[in-house]
Structures are given as structure tokens and as C-alpha cells.
A and B are shown apart, each in its own frame.
Chain A
């Protein structure tokens, strides 16, 4: 059973094939340059702004049976502080007794402060066409307030350390009909699927490249997609069972990626293929 990842033949040494390989590598380099030009042409004009704007309205609006806004929501830096909050998530929260990522923390605030039932709020978790997701909008808004900030994750609390350890273990855990783990595609340098270069998520550089640009407007979806969506979709592509939203595994993997990317500067919401 072959994996869908291919290794670039940079290290191959074949007398007759050396020139051919050089040609291939050059072709690949120019392809990556062309893709870089495609991405650059989007500039700063990211449709994610549309979600950010909607998220701000949702944050400020008095909603739910309790008719309050989310301005008392504590994302770890105090009630209502969103500036830099995403850069310090996931983290332990005393009031819920859990390590939470941004998305599960938003759910806590929406259910506790506004009284909106969890099932109702998460009915449209990930938007599609006319169905808008409030979660995506709120996530985009809060994440944008950490743009330019470095990721800071001291992991002082034992539960935070445990979440990191779980994520690290799951990253390497092979399962499913293809015996895939995240590590199958993301633990080595120089891997790609078709023309997509795969980031090596086990190094700081690779983790930063990926993590600092999520959530992102996904052009192929025409929607803003969050980190929980990204992880769920990876699980789907590996033919693993569906990753539960806000589960210990989802939060653990996020913690592992974020911690590995620590020190990197957030550029999210980004724009992706």
C-alpha cells in the first residue's frame, strides 16, 4: 500500500540520471515559485475579513436567553480581553477544569454567558454556502486580534503538559485502514503530495509555517476554516474515525502543534488553497 506522499529526489545520485534529476528539481522549484506568485497575488485582500467582520458583530451583540454579549468572555487573559488571547491558547481554565483551545472556549462562553445550548450553537459548526457558522466567524475575529503576536505557551499546568504529551503521541499513532499517522506525511522534510509541499510539523520552522496561518480562508472551499476543521479533515483524509470537536485528542494535537510552533509570529487568518 503506497502512501500518497512522494519524496523529492534531491539526494539521489545517479550518473546518467543526474542531469534529468537536476531538470526535475528545477522544474519543481519553478513550480513552487509559480505557486508562491499565485499566493502573493492575493495580497492582503483576504475574504477572511468578511468572517472577521461578522465575528465582531456576534461578539458585541447581546444574544441568547440571557441576552448578553461575549464581552465578559475570558479567553485566558481576563474577561473580554481578545488582544493576544489566541497566541496563548490552548491553555488550562479553572472554571471548566479543562485545557481548551479557542473554539471549545468560545463554546463555553456562548453556552455559559449567553445561555445558548451547545447543540444549537454547534448545529452549523463549519459553514457551507448559505449556512453560516457563528463559530467560524467568532474564531476569525478573535484570531485576528493576535495577528503579529508571538505564540507563548509556558505549559505550567500539569494538564497542559499532559495535553501536549497526548498530542505528541497521537501525532505518531498509526491507525485506520491505511495505517496512517500525522507523522506519515508530516514528520519528515521534503515531502509533497502532487504539487503541495507538506510542512514538517515536528520542527519549529515547519510547525510555524503551518500553524501561524490557521484558521484560513480555504479557496477550494470558499469558506473560512478553523484549526478544528483542519484536524478533522486530516483525519478524514487518513480514513481515520471522525475526530470529535473539542475532544482531548483535538485539543492535544492543537497543543502539540502550537507548542512546537512557539515563538512563531501569528499571521492568521491566512489564505490557503
Chain B
């Protein structure tokens, strides 16, 4: 059960500027816990962003994206009130979508 993403999507002139913070451990599979046991790899592999159902960004990630990842991008054709949806999928097969209205 993952925590919600923090998504800021703001109209700036002709474009929408998006800034996202995602709660995810992004474990590489190389870290050892306090007892010396290897913490298994678990990281986001796919990200997609869509505005009113139209894909505006797709990304493939590996374990060297930082923990609690940050992502920022900009796209045209979005207006205030439009729905921006961000979805991630990880190596454990978990997935999460969060949606905001563009401000």
C-alpha cells in the first residue's frame, strides 16, 4: 500500500509545468539492512503521465533513480482544470495512479 504522490501541475504561459515527488524506496537490491541481510530490489520501472487521457510523457526507470524520486517536465495543450494523471509500476508488480487538476 503506497503513499500518494505529490503532484504540482501549473499553467505557465502556453505550457503546463509539472513537478512530482513520489514515495518509493527505489531499492537497488544491493543494500544490506542492520542485520546484514540484502534488501531485495524493488524499484519503479515505468512511469506514464497523461492529460485528459492523452499521454504526455513516458519513462523507463532503473534502480539508479533516487529514492523518493522527483520528476519535472513541461507540455503544451493543457489548460486549467484539465486532469493530469501520473502512473507508476514497479518490479514487484505494484502500481499506483494519482490524479490532480491542473492549476
For B27, give the chain A residue with the smallest CB separation: A129
**Residue contact A49 to B21, C-beta cutoff 8 Å:** yes
Q: Which of chain B's residues have a CB closer than 8 A to the CB of A217?
A: 68
Report Cα–Cα, A46/B21, bound state, in Å: 8
Report Cα–Cα, A45/B73, bound state, in Å: 13
Q: Which of chain B's residues have a CB closer than 8 A to the CB of A46?
A: 21
For B34, give the chain A residue with the smallest CB separation: A128
For B69, give the chain A residue with the smallest CB separation: A47
Q: Which of chain A's residues have a CB closer than 8 A to the CB of B19?
A: 45
Flag whether B6 is at the interface (Cβ < 8 A): yes
Q: Which of chain A's residues have a CB closer than 8 A to the CB of B33?
A: 128-129
Flag whether A222 is at the interface (Cβ < 8 A): yes
Flag whether B58 is at the interface (Cβ < 8 A): no
Question: B68 → chain A, closest Cβ, in Å?
Answer: 4
Flag whether A54 is at the interface (Cβ < 8 A): yes
How many residues of chain B have a CB within 8 Å of chain A? 15
Q: In the complex, which of the residues A45, A53, A129 contacts B39, with contact meaning CB atoms closer than 8 Å?
A: A129
Question: A137 → chain B, closest Cβ, in Å?
Answer: 10
Question: A30 → chain B, closest Cβ, in Å?
Answer: 25
Question: A225 → chain B, closest Cβ, in Å?
Answer: 13
Flag whether B23 is at the interface (Cβ < 8 A): yes
Flag whether B3 is at the interface (Cβ < 8 A): yes
For B71, give the chain A residue with the smallest CB separation: A45
**Residue contact A222 to B68, C-beta cutoff 8 Å:** yes
Flag whether B29 is at the interface (Cβ < 8 A): no
Q: Which of chain A's residues have a CB closer than 8 A to the CB of B72?
A: 45
Question: A59 → chain B, closest Cβ, in Å?
Answer: 15
Q: Which of chain A's residues have a CB closer than 8 A to the CB of B4?
A: 53
Question: B65 → chain A, closest Cβ, in Å?
Answer: 12
Q: Mark A60-101, 1 if CB is under 8 A from B, else 0.
A: 000000000000000000000000000000000000000000
**Residue contact B23 to A50, C-beta cutoff 8 Å:** yes
How many residues of chain A have a CB within 8 Å of chain B? 12
Flag whether B25 is at the interface (Cβ < 8 A): yes
Q: CB within 8 Å of A: which of B1-34? A: 3-4, 6, 19, 21, 23, 25, 27, 33-34
Report Cα–Cα, A184/B70, bound state, in Å: 37
Q: Which of chain A's residues have a CB closer than 8 A to the CB of B21?
A: 45-47, 49-50
Flag whether A130 is at the interface (Cβ < 8 A): yes
**Residue contact A45 to B68, C-beta cutoff 8 Å:** no
**Residue contact B25 to A50, C-beta cutoff 8 Å:** no
Question: B38 → chain A, closest Cβ, in Å?
Answer: 12
Q: In the complex, which of the residues B6, B25, B70 contacts A53, with contact meaning CB atoms closer than 8 Å?
A: B6
Q: Which of chain A's residues have a CB closer than 8 A to the CB of B27?
A: 129
Given contacts A50-B3, A53-B3, A53-B6, contact A129 B68 (CB under 8 A): no
Question: A131 → chain B, closest Cβ, in Å?
Answer: 10
**Residue contact A54 to B70, C-beta cutoff 8 Å:** no
Flag whether B46 is at the interface (Cβ < 8 A): no
Residues of A with Cβ closer than 8 Å to B?
Answer: 45-47, 49-50, 53-54, 128-130, 217, 222
Residues of B with Cβ closer than 8 Å to A?
Answer: 3-4, 6, 19, 21, 23, 25, 27, 33-34, 39, 67-68, 70, 72
Q: 7 tightest A-B contacts by CB?
A: A47-B68, A222-B67, A50-B23, A49-B6, A45-B70, A45-B19, A129-B25
